[in-house]
């Protein structure tokens, strides 16, 4: 769902939903935010799945993702890396460790305009070099229209969670989306979460961890991917948060851990959408 902010993936809601949900995260008893990333990641294991929820416009979050891949792969604990940044069905599973970046991008059908390779490539290539498959996990664009009309998706979340997801969709579209579109766009978000969960399930390996790299909204326990994973899976979720949202309302247990990074300049992604369009000068 969404409108597009600069340098970020397909719709703006993808980023803003993550930010909205991130602002609702609780402060876990121990975030170990001052510990090295490998130590923080390994402290959450064992887990069948580890979900890192980033803020898409925070460069340090992509660095943390690479370091997490390296930490788990270096200890032979990484089953696969599932990513929101490529569509479900795309994979590097059959590629050689020495594959070039261009070959990897082709295998994942990478969209550099939506997801800058300069930001996400290091984490992807760290997995490839370690012989760990990278799996596209996002709902294919070709299936979005069907998802919008699939009313069965409305029952995938409990009523409170569904209402919260609708609110995130509304806010993520800068409150400019017609109310008639809130339901269909919410279904797309739910379908995305379900697609990511299915990718994780298919990649599951006993004794190892599937790492999901996505926006924080997808990793939130009550609304996101965890809602579509079976109860017998050990799932750990991490919110990567730029700055301290201490003043924001909190939702207990939204994530298992919050890893804070330095604040980044605030951006109003809705300003350009709300600004009136300047009249076009007549051609002479």
The string of pLDDT tens digits covering residues 158-187 is 999 999 999 999 988 888 889 999 999 999
- CA dihedral of residues 243, 119, 273, 194 (deg, nearest 10): -90
Inform me whether the pLDDT recorded for 7 exceeds 50: no
Closest Cα to residue 41, out of 216, 238, 203, 207? 238
Closest Cα to residue 214, out of 108, 136, 102, 148? 136
Inform me whether the pLDDT recorded for 252 exceeds 80: no
DSSP helix/strand/coil, 83: strand
Using pLDDT thresholds of 50, 70 and 90, give the confidence band for residue 22.
Answer: very low
pLDDT at 33: 61
Beta carbons of 14 and 243 less than 8 angstroms apart: no
pTM: 0.84
Beta carbons of 122 and 60 less than 8 angstroms apart: no
Inform me whether the pLDDT recorded for 8 exceeds 80: no
Percent of the chain with pLDDT over 70: 82
- 91-117 burial string, b = 16+ CB within 10 Å, else e? bbeebeeebeeeebbebbebbeeebbb
pLDDT at 205: 97
The domain segmentation of the chain, as residue ranges, is 12-262
The string of pLDDT tens digits covering residues 84-138 is 999 999 999 999 999 999 999 999 999 999 999 999 999 999 999 999 999 999 9
Over residues 222-231, the mean pLDDT reads 96
Inform me whether the pLDDT recorded for 66 exceeds 90: yes
Closest Cα to residue 108, out of 186, 232, 123, 77? 123
Q: Please report the sign of the dihedral spanned by the C-alpha atoms of residue 269, residue 270, residue 271, residue 277.
A: positive
Inform me whether the pLDDT recorded for 25 exceeds 80: no
What Å distances lie between residue 41 and 32, 73, 259, CA to CA?
10, 12, 10
- Angle between helix 117-129 and 59-74 (nearest 10): 0
Block residue for tokens 């995130």: 168
DSSP secondary structure, 177-199, as one string: S-HHHHHHHHHHHHHHHHHHHHH
Block residue for tokens 């851990």: 257
12-262: which CATH topology? Rossmann fold (3.40.50)
Inform me whether the pLDDT recorded for 43 exceeds 90: yes
| Number of other residues whose CB lies within 10 A of the CB of residue 56 | 25
Q: Please report the sign of the dihedral spanned by the C-alpha atoms of residue 240, residue 243, residue 244, residue 248.
A: negative
Closest Cα to residue 91, out of 77, 103, 100? 103
Beta carbons of 126 and 142 less than 8 angstroms apart: no
pLDDT at 34: 74
Beta carbons of 69 and 132 less than 8 angstroms apart: yes
Beta carbons of 129 and 101 less than 8 angstroms apart: no
Using pLDDT thresholds of 50, 70 and 90, give the confidence band for residue 276.
Answer: low
Using pLDDT thresholds of 50, 70 and 90, give the confidence band for residue 10.
Answer: very low
Using pLDDT thresholds of 50, 70 and 90, give the confidence band for residue 271.
Answer: confident
Give Cβ neighbours of residue 194 (< 8 Å, ≥ 6 apart). 139, 153, 156, 228
d(CA 216, CA 225): 10
d(CA 214, CA 18): 9
């Amino acid at each position: 769902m969404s409108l597009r902010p600069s340098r970020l993936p397909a719709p703006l809601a993808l980023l803003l939903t993550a930010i909205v949900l991130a602002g609702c995260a609780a402060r876990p008893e121990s975030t170990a935010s001052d510990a090295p990333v490998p130590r923080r990641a390994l402290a959450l294991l064992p887990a069948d799945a580890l979900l890192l929820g980033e803020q898409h416009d925070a460069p340090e979050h992509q660095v943390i993702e690479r370091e997490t891949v390296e930490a788990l792969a270096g200890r032979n604990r990484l089953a696969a890396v599932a990513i929101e940044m490529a569509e479900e069905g795309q994979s590097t599973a059959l590629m050689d460790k020495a594959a070039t970046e261009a070959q990897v991008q082709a295998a994942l059908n990478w969209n550099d305009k939506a997801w800058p390779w300069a930001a996400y490539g290091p984490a992807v290539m760290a997995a490839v070099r370690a012989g760990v498959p990278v799996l596209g996990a996002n709902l294919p664009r070709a299936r979005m229209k069907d998802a919008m009309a699939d009313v069965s998706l409305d029952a995938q979340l409990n009523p409170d969670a569904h209402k919260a997801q609708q609110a995130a969709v509304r806010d993520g579209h800068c409150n400019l989306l017609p109310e008639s579109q809130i339901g269909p766009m919410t279904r797309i978000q739910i379908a995305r979460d379900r697609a990511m969960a299915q990718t994780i399930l298919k990649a599951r390996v006993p004794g190892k961890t599937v790492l999901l790299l996505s926006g924080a909204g997808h990793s939130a326990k009550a609304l996101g991917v965890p809602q579509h994973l079976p109860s017998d899976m050990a799932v750990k979720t991490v919110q990567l948060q730029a700055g301290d949202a201490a003043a924001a309302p909190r939702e207990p247990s939204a994530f298992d851990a919050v890893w804070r990074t330095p604040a980044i300049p605030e951006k109003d992604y809705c300003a350009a959408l709300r600004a009136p369009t300047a009249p076009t000068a007549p051609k002479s």
